[in-house]
Amino acid sequence: MNLLKKIIDLVLYGNFWIALGGLTLTLQTQLILSGNFQFDDLSWFVFFSTFLLYALHRIVGILRLNSFLKIERYSIISTFRHHIIIYAVFASTGVVYFFFKLTWQVQLALIIPAIISLGYVLPFFGNEKRLRDFDQIKIYLIAGVWAFVTVILPAIDHGGTINIPVILMIVERGIFVFAITLPFDIRDLIVDNHGDVKTIPGVIGIKKTKQLGYLTMALAMLLALIIYSLDLYDLNILIGLGISYLSSAVLISYSSSERHDYFYSGLMDGTMILQFLIIWGICTFF
Protein backbone atom coordinates (compact mmCIF):
# COMPACT_ATOMS: atom_id res chain seq x y z
CA MET A 1 0.00 0.00 0.00
CA ASN A 2 2.86 2.36 0.85
CA LEU A 3 4.47 1.64 -2.54
CA LEU A 4 1.14 2.28 -4.31
CA LYS A 5 0.79 5.63 -2.55
CA LYS A 6 4.31 6.62 -3.58
CA ILE A 7 3.51 5.77 -7.20
CA ILE A 8 0.26 7.76 -7.10
CA ASP A 9 2.05 10.71 -5.48
CA LEU A 10 4.76 10.60 -8.14
CA VAL A 11 2.23 10.51 -10.99
CA LEU A 12 0.09 13.31 -9.56
CA TYR A 13 2.67 15.62 -8.00
CA GLY A 14 5.40 14.85 -10.51
CA ASN A 15 3.05 16.46 -13.10
CA PHE A 16 2.68 13.36 -15.28
CA TRP A 17 -1.12 13.27 -14.77
CA ILE A 18 -1.84 16.90 -15.67
CA ALA A 19 0.50 16.66 -18.68
CA LEU A 20 -1.46 13.61 -19.82
CA GLY A 21 -4.61 15.74 -19.54
CA GLY A 22 -3.16 18.30 -21.96
CA LEU A 23 -2.09 15.54 -24.32
CA THR A 24 -5.47 13.78 -24.36
CA LEU A 25 -7.50 16.97 -24.90
CA THR A 26 -5.25 17.75 -27.88
CA LEU A 27 -5.78 14.25 -29.25
CA GLN A 28 -9.52 14.68 -28.70
CA THR A 29 -9.56 17.77 -30.91
CA GLN A 30 -7.66 15.86 -33.59
CA LEU A 31 -10.22 13.08 -33.38
CA ILE A 32 -13.11 15.52 -33.73
CA LEU A 33 -11.61 17.44 -36.65
CA SER A 34 -10.19 14.56 -38.67
CA GLY A 35 -11.86 11.38 -37.44
CA ASN A 36 -8.63 9.99 -35.97
CA PHE A 37 -5.70 11.06 -33.83
CA GLN A 38 -1.97 10.53 -33.74
CA PHE A 39 0.85 11.23 -31.32
CA ASP A 40 2.39 13.91 -33.50
CA ASP A 41 4.83 16.75 -32.84
CA LEU A 42 2.12 19.11 -31.57
CA SER A 43 0.59 16.63 -29.13
CA TRP A 44 4.01 15.85 -27.65
CA PHE A 45 4.81 19.56 -27.49
CA VAL A 46 1.60 20.12 -25.50
CA PHE A 47 2.51 17.23 -23.19
CA PHE A 48 6.03 18.49 -22.44
CA SER A 49 5.05 22.18 -22.21
CA THR A 50 2.23 21.35 -19.77
CA PHE A 51 4.66 19.22 -17.78
CA LEU A 52 7.21 22.04 -17.68
CA LEU A 53 4.79 24.82 -16.74
CA TYR A 54 3.23 22.87 -13.89
CA ALA A 55 6.68 21.86 -12.68
CA LEU A 56 7.72 25.53 -12.60
CA HIS A 57 4.44 26.36 -10.87
CA ARG A 58 5.12 23.80 -8.15
CA ILE A 59 8.76 24.85 -7.72
CA VAL A 60 7.87 28.55 -7.37
CA GLY A 61 4.81 27.78 -5.25
CA ILE A 62 6.62 25.63 -2.70
CA LEU A 63 9.20 28.37 -2.19
CA ARG A 64 6.42 30.84 -1.38
CA LEU A 65 4.32 28.59 0.87
CA ASN A 66 6.70 27.34 3.54
CA SER A 67 4.06 28.06 6.18
CA PHE A 68 1.74 25.49 4.57
CA LEU A 69 4.14 22.53 4.50
CA LYS A 70 2.00 20.81 7.14
CA ILE A 71 -0.70 20.40 4.48
CA GLU A 72 -0.12 16.97 2.95
CA ARG A 73 0.06 17.93 -0.73
CA TYR A 74 2.61 20.68 -0.07
CA SER A 75 4.63 18.33 2.09
CA ILE A 76 4.65 15.72 -0.69
CA ILE A 77 5.55 18.30 -3.33
CA SER A 78 8.37 19.52 -1.11
CA THR A 79 9.60 15.93 -0.81
CA PHE A 80 9.53 15.56 -4.60
CA ARG A 81 11.04 18.99 -5.29
CA HIS A 82 14.38 17.60 -6.51
CA HIS A 83 12.56 15.12 -8.73
CA ILE A 84 10.39 17.93 -10.10
CA ILE A 85 13.44 20.05 -10.93
CA ILE A 86 15.03 17.13 -12.80
CA TYR A 87 11.77 16.42 -14.63
CA ALA A 88 11.48 20.12 -15.54
CA VAL A 89 14.92 19.99 -17.17
CA PHE A 90 13.95 16.93 -19.22
CA ALA A 91 10.59 18.49 -20.10
CA SER A 92 12.26 21.70 -21.28
CA THR A 93 14.38 19.60 -23.63
CA GLY A 94 11.21 18.06 -25.05
CA VAL A 95 9.59 21.50 -25.40
CA VAL A 96 12.53 22.89 -27.37
CA TYR A 97 12.86 19.80 -29.55
CA PHE A 98 9.20 19.60 -30.56
CA PHE A 99 8.77 23.38 -30.85
CA PHE A 100 11.20 23.49 -33.76
CA LYS A 101 9.32 20.65 -35.46
CA LEU A 102 6.05 22.62 -35.47
CA THR A 103 4.85 24.65 -38.43
CA TRP A 104 5.59 28.36 -38.34
CA GLN A 105 1.85 29.07 -38.07
CA VAL A 106 1.60 27.06 -34.86
CA GLN A 107 4.83 28.57 -33.52
CA LEU A 108 3.45 32.06 -34.13
CA ALA A 109 0.12 31.20 -32.49
CA LEU A 110 2.00 29.99 -29.41
CA ILE A 111 3.32 33.45 -28.52
CA ILE A 112 0.24 34.66 -26.63
CA PRO A 113 -0.48 31.51 -24.55
CA ALA A 114 3.25 31.16 -23.80
CA ILE A 115 3.47 34.70 -22.43
CA ILE A 116 0.32 34.24 -20.33
CA SER A 117 1.47 30.85 -19.03
CA LEU A 118 4.91 32.10 -18.00
CA GLY A 119 3.33 35.14 -16.37
CA TYR A 120 1.02 32.80 -14.47
CA VAL A 121 3.80 30.77 -12.87
CA LEU A 122 6.73 33.22 -12.65
CA PRO A 123 6.79 36.41 -10.51
CA PHE A 124 7.27 38.98 -13.27
CA PHE A 125 5.17 41.69 -11.63
CA GLY A 126 5.67 44.11 -8.75
CA ASN A 127 5.98 42.70 -5.22
CA GLU A 128 6.96 39.36 -6.79
CA LYS A 129 3.42 38.83 -8.04
CA ARG A 130 2.39 36.33 -10.68
CA LEU A 131 -0.73 36.63 -12.83
CA ARG A 132 -2.39 34.04 -10.61
CA ASP A 133 -1.88 36.34 -7.61
CA PHE A 134 -4.27 38.98 -8.95
CA ASP A 135 -7.87 38.78 -7.72
CA GLN A 136 -10.23 36.38 -9.56
CA ILE A 137 -8.11 36.24 -12.70
CA LYS A 138 -6.40 32.87 -12.44
CA ILE A 139 -9.39 30.68 -13.32
CA TYR A 140 -10.08 32.67 -16.50
CA LEU A 141 -6.43 32.48 -17.53
CA ILE A 142 -6.40 28.70 -16.99
CA ALA A 143 -9.60 28.17 -18.99
CA GLY A 144 -8.49 30.48 -21.81
CA VAL A 145 -5.02 29.03 -22.22
CA TRP A 146 -6.18 25.41 -22.07
CA ALA A 147 -8.89 26.10 -24.67
CA PHE A 148 -6.41 27.91 -26.92
CA VAL A 149 -3.74 25.24 -26.71
CA THR A 150 -5.98 22.17 -27.00
CA VAL A 151 -8.37 23.48 -29.66
CA ILE A 152 -6.89 26.37 -31.66
CA LEU A 153 -3.41 24.89 -32.05
CA PRO A 154 -4.65 21.47 -33.30
CA ALA A 155 -7.07 23.27 -35.63
CA ILE A 156 -4.23 25.35 -37.10
CA ASP A 157 -1.97 22.30 -37.29
CA HIS A 158 -4.76 20.36 -38.98
CA GLY A 159 -4.84 23.03 -41.68
CA GLY A 160 -8.48 23.87 -41.12
CA THR A 161 -10.03 27.30 -40.86
CA ILE A 162 -11.16 28.76 -37.54
CA ASN A 163 -14.85 28.85 -38.49
CA ILE A 164 -17.98 29.30 -36.36
CA PRO A 165 -18.24 25.66 -35.18
CA VAL A 166 -14.55 25.63 -34.19
CA ILE A 167 -14.94 28.96 -32.36
CA LEU A 168 -17.89 27.49 -30.45
CA MET A 169 -15.78 24.44 -29.61
CA ILE A 170 -13.07 26.77 -28.23
CA VAL A 171 -15.68 28.40 -25.98
CA GLU A 172 -17.10 25.02 -24.97
CA ARG A 173 -13.66 23.67 -24.05
CA GLY A 174 -12.88 26.81 -22.08
CA ILE A 175 -16.16 26.54 -20.16
CA PHE A 176 -15.46 22.89 -19.35
CA VAL A 177 -11.99 23.72 -18.00
CA PHE A 178 -13.46 26.68 -16.09
CA ALA A 179 -16.04 24.38 -14.46
CA ILE A 180 -13.54 21.70 -13.37
CA THR A 181 -11.17 24.39 -12.05
CA LEU A 182 -13.79 25.83 -9.67
CA PRO A 183 -13.31 22.96 -7.16
CA PHE A 184 -9.58 23.77 -7.02
CA ASP A 185 -10.45 27.30 -5.88
CA ILE A 186 -12.61 25.71 -3.18
CA ARG A 187 -9.65 23.54 -2.15
CA ASP A 188 -7.26 26.51 -2.12
CA LEU A 189 -9.42 28.91 -0.12
CA ILE A 190 -7.06 28.95 2.86
CA VAL A 191 -3.94 29.43 0.74
CA ASP A 192 -5.54 32.14 -1.42
CA ASN A 193 -6.81 33.96 1.66
CA HIS A 194 -3.30 33.82 3.09
CA GLY A 195 -2.01 35.45 -0.12
CA ASP A 196 -4.87 37.98 -0.03
CA VAL A 197 -6.12 36.70 -3.40
CA LYS A 198 -9.88 36.86 -3.93
CA THR A 199 -11.29 33.93 -5.89
CA ILE A 200 -14.85 33.03 -6.87
CA PRO A 201 -15.52 30.81 -3.78
CA GLY A 202 -14.05 33.51 -1.57
CA VAL A 203 -16.52 36.05 -2.98
CA ILE A 204 -19.75 34.07 -3.50
CA GLY A 205 -19.21 31.11 -1.17
CA ILE A 206 -18.77 27.38 -1.73
CA LYS A 207 -22.45 26.54 -2.31
CA LYS A 208 -22.91 29.13 -5.04
CA THR A 209 -19.57 28.15 -6.57
CA LYS A 210 -20.84 24.59 -6.96
CA GLN A 211 -24.06 25.93 -8.51
CA LEU A 212 -21.94 27.95 -10.92
CA GLY A 213 -20.13 24.74 -11.81
CA TYR A 214 -23.42 22.99 -12.64
CA LEU A 215 -24.56 25.99 -14.69
CA THR A 216 -21.34 26.13 -16.70
CA MET A 217 -21.46 22.38 -17.37
CA ALA A 218 -25.03 22.82 -18.65
CA LEU A 219 -23.86 25.71 -20.83
CA ALA A 220 -21.04 23.56 -22.23
CA MET A 221 -23.61 20.88 -23.11
CA LEU A 222 -25.84 23.47 -24.78
CA LEU A 223 -22.89 24.60 -26.90
CA ALA A 224 -22.16 20.96 -27.76
CA LEU A 225 -25.75 20.60 -29.02
CA ILE A 226 -25.34 23.73 -31.16
CA ILE A 227 -22.04 22.43 -32.55
CA TYR A 228 -23.77 19.11 -33.28
CA SER A 229 -26.46 20.98 -35.22
CA LEU A 230 -23.66 22.64 -37.23
CA ASP A 231 -22.28 19.17 -38.14
CA LEU A 232 -18.88 19.44 -36.46
CA TYR A 233 -19.89 16.87 -33.82
CA ASP A 234 -21.54 13.59 -34.70
CA LEU A 235 -23.94 11.80 -32.36
CA ASN A 236 -21.19 9.66 -30.79
CA ILE A 237 -19.17 12.73 -29.81
CA LEU A 238 -22.27 14.46 -28.46
CA ILE A 239 -23.15 11.44 -26.30
CA GLY A 240 -19.56 11.19 -25.07
CA LEU A 241 -19.52 14.86 -24.08
CA GLY A 242 -22.86 14.46 -22.34
CA ILE A 243 -21.53 11.58 -20.22
CA SER A 244 -18.37 13.55 -19.45
CA TYR A 245 -20.21 16.72 -18.40
CA LEU A 246 -22.68 14.82 -16.25
CA SER A 247 -19.98 12.85 -14.43
CA SER A 248 -17.89 16.02 -13.95
CA ALA A 249 -20.92 17.85 -12.48
CA VAL A 250 -21.37 14.97 -10.01
CA LEU A 251 -17.75 15.31 -8.94
CA ILE A 252 -18.15 19.07 -8.48
CA SER A 253 -21.01 18.38 -6.06
CA TYR A 254 -18.57 16.52 -3.78
CA SER A 255 -16.07 19.40 -3.63
CA SER A 256 -15.12 20.71 -0.20
CA SER A 257 -12.07 22.20 1.46
CA GLU A 258 -11.79 19.02 3.58
CA ARG A 259 -11.48 16.59 0.65
CA HIS A 260 -8.19 14.76 0.21
CA ASP A 261 -6.14 16.24 -2.62
CA TYR A 262 -6.37 12.97 -4.59
CA PHE A 263 -9.96 14.04 -5.27
CA TYR A 264 -8.71 17.23 -6.94
CA SER A 265 -5.33 16.38 -8.46
CA GLY A 266 -6.53 12.88 -9.33
CA LEU A 267 -10.25 12.83 -10.09
CA MET A 268 -10.95 16.45 -11.12
CA ASP A 269 -7.85 16.70 -13.32
CA GLY A 270 -8.67 13.20 -14.54
CA THR A 271 -11.98 14.41 -16.02
CA MET A 272 -9.97 15.71 -19.00
CA ILE A 273 -8.45 12.30 -19.62
CA LEU A 274 -11.79 10.60 -19.02
CA GLN A 275 -13.55 12.84 -21.55
CA PHE A 276 -11.12 11.77 -24.27
CA LEU A 277 -11.37 8.09 -23.33
CA ILE A 278 -15.18 8.18 -23.36
CA ILE A 279 -15.36 9.89 -26.76
CA TRP A 280 -12.64 7.68 -28.24
CA GLY A 281 -14.32 4.56 -26.87
CA ILE A 282 -17.77 5.45 -28.21
CA CYS A 283 -16.39 6.47 -31.62
CA THR A 284 -14.40 3.24 -31.82
CA PHE A 285 -17.05 0.73 -30.82
CA PHE A 286 -20.28 2.32 -32.12
> The domain spanning residue 52 has which CATH number?
1.10.600
* pLDDT(90) > 70: yes
Taking CA atoms, 224 is separated from 65, 165, 235, 241, 274, in Å, by: 40, 10, 10, 8, 17
DSSP string, 91-116: HHHHHHHHHTTS-HHHHHHTHHHHHH
Q: Check residue 159 and give its pLDDT.
A: 83
More confident residue, 286 or 272: 272
- CA–CA separation, 187 vs 132, rounded Å? 15
Percent of the chain scored above 90 by pLDDT? Answer: 67
Q: Check residue 57 and give its pLDDT.
A: 85
Radius of gyration (Cα) for the chain, nearest Å? 18
Distance, C-alpha 52 to centroid of its chain: 13
Domain count, the chain: 1
pTM for the complete prediction?
0.93
* pLDDT(65) > 90: no
Which domain range does residue 92 map to?
A: 2-285
* pLDDT(186) > 90: yes
- Cα diameter, the chain: 55
* pLDDT(10) > 90: no
Helices (H), the chain: 2-13, 16-34, 41-64, 72-79, 81-99, 104-109, 111-121, 138-147, 153-158, 164-187, 189-194, 200-204, 206-229, 235-253, 261, 269-285
More confident residue, 159 or 42: 42
Average pLDDT, the chain: 90
* pLDDT(1) > 70: no
